[in-house]
Structure 1
Amino acid sequence: MEHTYNGMPANELTNVAWRKSRRSNSQGNCVELAELPDGGVAVRNSRFPNGPALIYTRDEMRALVLGVKDGEFDGLLV
């Protein structure tokens, strides 16, 4: 696989399967995630699938998901 880096064009990530949340809406307000061969996770804006991808390590994604589950970011939704 090619070298991955934050901000790389998402369409340069080949052989990955992008997944969208079931909570995504018809207005396109959603993000998509793809597991990378090295165990990392790529994130992109579904409205701009060829735009930049943010690349996170497995530990970074774990910290984010656990923080969301614990309600640490609920204040951002009000």
Structure 2
Amino acid sequence: MVPRLLDKDVEETHVRGWGPGGQNVNKTANCVVLKHLPTGIVVKCHETRYLEQNRKRARANLITKLDNLINGEQSVEAQMKAL
């Protein structure tokens, strides 16, 4: 079973972006850093220049990492690799 991500267990911060994408990327805080407090797992996402898209991707990445940690070989990612 895929773990649920509770808001009280996640610390979210926004960091100023960097790299290609023009002035908008370099001036706005659109990089998302999520820390899962019970396990200490940290995920950083700066794949796009939009904050909301980065938030969604960071949460998805964090859920995948938690699933791998908790379920090991029974995680969704491990089952997909096995196929």
**TM over 0.5: same fold?**
no
Q: Please state which band the TM-score falls in when normalised by the shorter chain.
A: 0.3 to 0.5
Larger radius of gyration: 2
* Structure number with higher helix proportion: 2
TM superposition score normalised by structure 2 = 0.35
Return the TM-score normalized by structure 1: 0.37
